């Protein structure tokens, strides 16, 4: 695919975000270039956002559920970037419509204390580099109409990222079993999503290691201070105006976010 084609697709997605009007799927335009082309589109927008002054603070991992991978016909997760202006304080309210077609999912977040810049990082490297873990709610969104997405659409669209909320009580890795930790997320006091750490590639650290190795293979690395959202522990839930969500993850505590009744 030509750079001009990739730039046009990237501009479509930026236009959807700026106007709040979702665009048609972009997968047919990307089909000849496949997943590599989708990541090229993502990187064009990463470069644009950085030039606009957005500060990168980490990464989100998507498609960590075996059932979702099967649905989209892929055998690996995907990733997108996190930026400082996407962070929401625990318990705050988000203006409804600030994220296009919002949905929420509960996750485990890792914060790194050390760079992971070596080739072929191991699980031991990842554990040593992790400062602490936190409960998180990711507010995912799609610039694609009606969430009509394929793997190419979501990768190009920064892995369908929107905003994210972190809990504020850090936990050390040795103090929690992330594979077995149960999760319950409530909407307005009623349970709407349940799961456990093993739903995320068998263990949330498996997802974090996948992204670390993916970056290492590209000659890049993860950096000290990066936040890594490791992927959903249970089903994604659609957001309605006025909703309030609370996710409780055993051993990690809780995290909350609300949405205004109007845009």
For the chain, the structural domain boundaries read 55-259
Write the pLDDT tens digit of every residue in 28-84.
Answer: 999 999 999 999 999 999 999 999 999 999 999 999 987 677 766 777 899 999 999
Per-residue tokens: 14: 């930026």
Q: CA-CA distances (angstroms) from residue 146 to 94, 125, 188, 238, 246?
A: 21, 40, 24, 12, 25
Per-residue tokens: 222: 């993860």
Backbone torsions φ then ψ of 108, nearest 5 degrees = -100, 130
Residue entry with tokens 């470069």: 47
Cβ neighbours, 10 Å, residue 262: 9
Q: Kindly state the DSSP code that residue 65 receives in the 8-state scheme.
A: S
pLDDT of residue 136: 98
pLDDT of residue 68: 73
Inter-residue contact 145 to 233 (CB < 8 Å): no
Cβ neighbours, 10 Å, residue 183: 24
Inter-residue contact 259 to 88 (CB < 8 Å): no
- Secondary structure element (H or E) that encloses residue 133, with its range: strand 130-140
pLDDT of residue 1: 85
Inter-residue contact 69 to 76 (CB < 8 Å): yes
Q: For the whole prediction, is pTM greater than 0.85?
A: yes
Mean per-residue pLDDT pooled into runs of 10, the chain (263 residues): 95 96 96 95 96 96 82 82 98 95 97 94 98 98 94 95 97 97 98 96 96 92 97 94 98 98 82
- Secondary structure element (H or E) that encloses residue 18, with its range: helix 3-19
Give helix 3-19 / helix 34-51 axis angle, nearest 10°.
60
Residue 48 CA neighbour count, 13 Å, CB half: 14
CATH fold of 55-259 reads Fumarylacetoacetate hydrolase; domain 2 (3.90.850)
């Amino acid at each position: 695919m030509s750079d001009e084609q990739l730039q046009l697709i990237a501009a479509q997605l930026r236009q959807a975000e700026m106007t709040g009007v979702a665009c048609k799927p972009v997968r047919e335009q990307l089909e000849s270039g496949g997943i590599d082309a989708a990541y090229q589109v993502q990187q064009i927008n990463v470069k644009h956002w950085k030039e606009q002054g957005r500060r990168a603070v980490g990464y989100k991992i998507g498609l960590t559920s075996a059932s979702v991978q099967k649905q989209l016909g892929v055998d690996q997760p995907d990733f997108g970037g996190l930026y400082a202006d996407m962070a929401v304080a625990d318990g705050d309210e988000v203006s409804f419509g600030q994220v296009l077609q919002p949905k929420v999912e509960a996750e485990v977040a890792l914060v790194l204390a050390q760079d992971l810049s070596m080739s072929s990082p191991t699980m031991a490297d990842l554990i040593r580099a992790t400062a602490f873990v936190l409960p998180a709610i990711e507010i995912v969104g799609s610039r694609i109409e009606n969430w009509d997405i394929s793997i190419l659409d979501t990768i190009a669209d920064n892995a369908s990222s929107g905003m994210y909320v972190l809990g504020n009580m850090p936990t050390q890795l040795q103090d929690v079993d992330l594979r077995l930790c149960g999760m319950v997320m409530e909407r307005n006091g009623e349970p709407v999503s349940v799961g456990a750490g093993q739903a995320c590639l068998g263990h949330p650290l498996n997802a974090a290691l996948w992204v670390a190795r993916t970056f290492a293979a590209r000659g890049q690395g993860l950096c000290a201070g990066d936040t890594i959202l490791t992927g959903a522990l249970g089903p994604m839930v659609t957001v309605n105006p006025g909703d309030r969500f609370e996710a409780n993850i055993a051993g990690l505590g809780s995290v909350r976010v609300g949405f205004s009744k109007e845009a």
